[in-house]
Amino acid sequence: MISGGRDTRRKKEVGELKSTGIVRPVDNLGRIVLPIELRRVLDIDKDAALEVYVDNDSIVLKKYQPACIFCGSAEGVAQYQGRNICGACREAIAALK
């Protein structure tokens, strides 16, 4: 346990979420730092994008995975005019002609 607001460890589970026991402060700009060991375990690179979700009083971070705007699939996604579209939906759109 590191004092001074840097890293206070505690273990508990909330619903299906598992606590890492790591507590980090929010800085003046609203940022938090994810510990390097957590980033390594979850394979989060330095320029990785994370999605932010809110669930009641919880903030959940997930690795961003582009998904199709039509069906939500994350497989075979390509961008067309700034929108993510999967292969199956591209084929369905092409068949409309």
Cβ count within 10 A of residue 59: 9
Domain spans in the chain, listed from the N-terminal domain onward: 13-63, 65-97
- The one-letter code for the residue type at 20 is T
Q: How far apart are CA 32 and CA 23, in angstroms?
A: 10
Q: Quickly name the fold that domain 13-63 has.
A: Pemi-like Protein 1; Chain: D (2.10.260)
Q: Does pTM top 0.85 for this prediction?
A: no
Q: How far apart are CA 64 and CA 66, in angstroms?
A: 6
Torsional class of 10: left (φ above 0), alpha (ψ -120 to 50), beta (otherwise): beta
Residue 15 banded pLDDT, cuts 50, 70, 90: low
Q: What is the pLDDT of residues 46-90, one digit of tens each?
A: 999 999 999 999 999 998 888 999 999 999 999 999 899 999 999
Q: How far apart are CA 61 and CA 47, in angstroms?
A: 15
Look up tokens 């994370």; give the residue: 50
